[in-house]
Amino acid sequence: MLAYRIDSFGTPPNLIETPLPVPGGGQIRLRIEACGLNFADLLMIEGRYQDTPEPPFTLGMEVAGVVDAVGPGVQHPHPGDRVALFGGQGGLAEYGVFEAARAVPLPESMSSTVAAGFQIAYGTSHLALDHRARLQPGETLLVLGAAGGVGLTAVEIGKLMGARVIACARGPEKLEVARRAGADHLIDATNADLRAEVKALGGADVVYDAVGGAQFDAAFRACNPEARLLTIGFASGTVPQIKANHLLVKNLTVMGLYWGGYLTFRPEALTGSLAQLFAWHAEGKLQPHISHVLPLSAVAEGLELLRNRTSTGKVVIEIPG
């Protein structure tokens, strides 16, 4: 089978032939139909992601497909079932072996292409806004990187939860994508005075930040008293340094959200969140945005779209049978 493998950190991955994996106890083998790309994949190539395995390994964190075989002790799912799952690795391949407990049945209304880009982006935003920040109807939510893979879902979910949403992204095309997702106000990060514009709109009660750097600093200074700031990622390449005395003065709270971490210490929060998200999708309340669908042979091109921040929503790799 074909797999997009990393042999050592800092060297380009390659699409190579590997043996068909065999599922062990508690595992399933998935005939992978689609795999979503994430910024974390870029960090894994460099060995800088918090959950990077030792090479060699296959890239690809979230997948969807059809169960092909099951290992000893697996009661569910069954061969032939359509599922999505977050494996953390192993998704950019024709087949993959994963823990059966992580498999989520797919509703008939959701294609594998949509499902492969659904879990991390929507799961991160819902868990962050609902479970961590406790976003309330009528509050003002500021989303940085609002046209990106997770940022766009934060706009959509924030609006669904009743917030007034300010979307910050680069350029009119990305801002239009955020507007269609439900943003009430748009700020062009290319040349805006972010702090001044957010303050003019009444300040932020919750900040959703997948960018970091100077945008975090500006948003921090535009917060209302008792605001909550969610650190989701650092696409700018700069991790903000927070002054604790400023937290004190405005009674601010900064909280981190690593979605995959909930699998190890509180999986019920994650699975409950996903159940709500799949239900919203089935009801037509969520409209996933995928800007690029590429074949397995074009993974490098897809990763470059993420690196240059030229995609909007998700980039998904389709792997036909």
Q: Please name the helix (run of DSSP H) or strand (run of DSSP E) that holds residue 244, with its range, or none.
A: helix 244-250
Query: Considering the chain, what is the average pLDDT of its residues?
Result: 94
**Predicted confidence band at 51 (pLDDT cuts at 50, 70, 90)?**
confident
Instruction: Please determine, for residue 141, whether its predicted confidence score (pLDDT) is greater than 80.
Output: yes
**Predicted confidence band at 321 (pLDDT cuts at 50, 70, 90)?**
confident
Looking at residue 204, its pLDDT comes to 98
* Segment 147-164, tens digit of pLDDT: 999 999 999 999 999 999
Mean of pLDDT values over 254-263? 91
pTM above 0.85, yes or no: yes
Hey, what are 315's tokens?
A: 């980039």
Looking at residue 235, its pLDDT comes to 86
| 62 touches 38 (CB < 8 A) | yes
- The answer for residues whose C-beta is within 8 angstroms of residue 278's C-beta and 6 or more apart is 104, 107, 110
* Segment 78-116, tens digit of pLDDT: 999 999 999 999 999 999 999 999 898 998 889 999 999
Fill in the amino acid letter for 253.
Answer: T
**Predicted confidence band at 272 (pLDDT cuts at 50, 70, 90)?**
confident
**Rounded-to-integer distance, Cα 70 and Cα 29, Å:** 6
Looking at residue 108, its pLDDT comes to 86
Provide the CB-side half-sphere exposure for 175 (13 A, CA). Answer: 15
Hey, what are 85's tokens?
A: 């799952």
Looking at residue 22, its pLDDT comes to 97
* Segment 302-317, tens digit of pLDDT: 999 999 989 999 999 9
- The answer for residues whose C-beta is within 8 angstroms of residue 300's C-beta and 6 or more apart is 12, 13
What DSSP designation does 265 have? H
Instruction: Please determine, for residue 230, whether its predicted confidence score (pLDDT) is greater than 90.
Output: yes
